[in-house]
Amino acid sequence: MVATAPNSTLSSHTATQMATLHNGVLMPMVGFGCAGYVRKPALLDALSVGYRLFDTAQAHEWYLEEEVGDAIAEGHVNRSALFLTSKLHPRDLGASRTLEAFPDSLRRLRTTYLDAFLLHYPRCFGSLCAKEPEGDWRAAWGALETLYARGEVRAIGVSNFGPAELQQLLDVATVKPHLVQSWMDPLHAERPLRALCARHGVQFQAYSSLGTQHQTPINPVLRHPVLNALAQQLGRTVVQVVLRWALQHGAAVIPRSGKRAHMASSLDLHDFEISAVQMAEIDALDGTDARAVRVPPSPPKLCADQDAGCEKWVRLPIPCCLRHQPSAPTSHRHRTHQLPTPHRAQANAGECETNPSFMHQACAGSCGTCDERKVEL
């Protein structure tokens, strides 16, 4: 169920759309995603423009819970007005390890409870876990039910579960999940999972709605000609159109940005509507091969937080990224292998493909994704 409730902390022309979870807990439909090592200054900006839901996780491979905690401590917003979500690292799957790991999130986030705690993944994969966890997601779910019964978390759920795994969970759970989080964008609409959630009254929340999961040279969502044409028709940005499309499908969204103006724009979604015909146009993109998306050449866009074009060295305040080299001739554009910095080793190791949600943003120069970073941040 979705309701619209005024929020006095937002600007007067804005309303916060709220989802009512099946236990009656209210959750903002638009939140701020904290993946990609989002730091305190950006989080303070997000608080100041009106974000009240913050999605983080225990996985230090992508998230920094302590930065969220520091921002909340300085943000002058009552804890009761916030919705904090974190997720269990898969290395801690199992009943006892889940219960032992949960307080770490409370400590780092400087809170006595969480609004939602999710299983981040149903299992370990790749190099994410140094060793196999003590148990499986079923045992970990039992621990989440314990935390919920104790009142230490107001809602529980899962992330990155497919329809078959979610059905298995629904079959065995004493407390069915309140929230399911998964990748959803117009080219990857996750229809079977969303349909299963709808049948069971479970709120679906979309991450990577703006195309960052696709391993392509350009962002196939933000650069898609159909979406750009619709944005022109509606007088909105492509980001706003995509987020509004997800909301009209009942999916909550958690975009992120490093720029205050973009943060505000991504909240400004409730005073326009996409028509049924336009929704059908977007829906028809589901299953499109992202590699087949072609866009006409366009002038280079500026990169990230700096006023340097992508043809020049990228200057970003993140250790992983390229450092500006004043002496580097412009003829060496994109020849990032000449710089002995850690990001290059990560890119050479294939991290741009295996970890695109972080690398395409934080190491845009190495991955050649400055263009999509400019649009998203």
For 45-98, how does the pLDDT look when each residue is reduced to its tens digit (9 = 90+)? Answer: 999 999 999 999 999 999 999 999 999 999 989 999 999 999 999 999 999 999
Domain count, the chain: 2
What is the distance between the alpha carbons of residues 191 and 197, in angstroms, rounded to a whole number?
10
Q: Are 370 and 258 contained in the same domain?
A: no
At 91 the pLDDT is: 94
**Contact predicate 332/182, CB 8 Å:** no
At 126 the pLDDT is: 86
Average pLDDT in the 259-288 region? 96
CB proximity list for 135: less than 8 A, separation 6 or greater = 93, 94, 95, 96, 97
End residue of a domain, out of 292, 308, 324: 292
At 48 the pLDDT is: 96
Task: Record the tokens describing residue 351, joined without a space.
Answer: 């991290």
Give the domain range for residue 76.
2-292
Q: Are 142 and 231 contained in the same domain?
A: yes
- Beta strands, E only, the chain: 2-5, 16-20, 26-28, 32-33, 53-55, 83-88, 116-119, 156-159, 179-183, 203-207, 252-253
Q: Are 283 and 362 contained in the same domain?
A: no
Residues of the chain with pLDDT > 70: what percent? 74
Q: What are phi and psi of 281, to 5 degrees?
A: -60, -45
pLDDT at 352 over 90: no
Q: Are 267 and 308 contained in the same domain?
A: no
* Amino acid in the structure at residue 22: H
Query: The dihedral of CA 303, 375, 217, 214: what is its sign?
Result: positive
At 131 the pLDDT is: 86
End residue of a domain, out of 292, 327, 350: 292
Q: DSSP 3-state assignment of 26?
A: strand
pTM of the model: 0.77
Q: Are 16 and 161 contained in the same domain?
A: yes
Q: Are 180 and 232 contained in the same domain?
A: yes
Beta-strand pair 2-5/16-20 = antiparallel
pLDDT at 292 over 50: yes
At 109 the pLDDT is: 97
At 127 the pLDDT is: 86
Average pLDDT in the 17-41 region? 96
Q: Are 287 and 303 contained in the same domain?
A: no
Beta bridge partners of 27: 19
Q: Are 306 and 234 contained in the same domain?
A: no
**Contact predicate 155/179, CB 8 Å:** yes
**Contact predicate 72/34, CB 8 Å:** no
Quick: pLDDT tens for 190-236: 999 999 999 999 999 999 999 999 989 999 999 999 999 999 999 99
* Amino acid in the structure at residue 59: A
Lowest-confidence range among 108-122, 240-254, 307-321, 345-359?
307-321
pLDDT at 318 over 70: no
Q: Are 362 and 256 contained in the same domain?
A: no
Average pLDDT in the 29-42 region? 94
Q: Provide the 8-state DSSP code for 75.
A: S
CB proximity list for 280: less than 8 A, separation 6 or greater = none
At 365 the pLDDT is: 67
Average pLDDT in the 315-319 region? 38
Q: Are 97 and 234 contained in the same domain?
A: yes
Confidence of residue 33 (pLDDT cuts 50, 70, 90): very high
Q: Are 175 and 150 contained in the same domain?
A: yes
As a residue count, the chain comes to 377
Q: DSSP 3-state assignment of 153?
A: strand
Average pLDDT in the 162-174 region? 97
Q: What are phi and psi of 157, to 5 degrees?
A: -170, -165
End residue of a domain, out of 257, 292, 327: 292
Average pLDDT in the 94-110 region? 97
Average pLDDT in the 278-305 region? 77
Lowest-confidence range among 134-138, 142-146, 300-304?
300-304
Confidence of residue 256 (pLDDT cuts 50, 70, 90): very high
Indicate which CATH number applies to the domain containing 164.
3.20.20.100
Task: Record the tokens describing residue 246, joined without a space.
Answer: 């997800």
pLDDT at 130 over 90: no
Q: Are 19 and 35 contained in the same domain?
A: yes
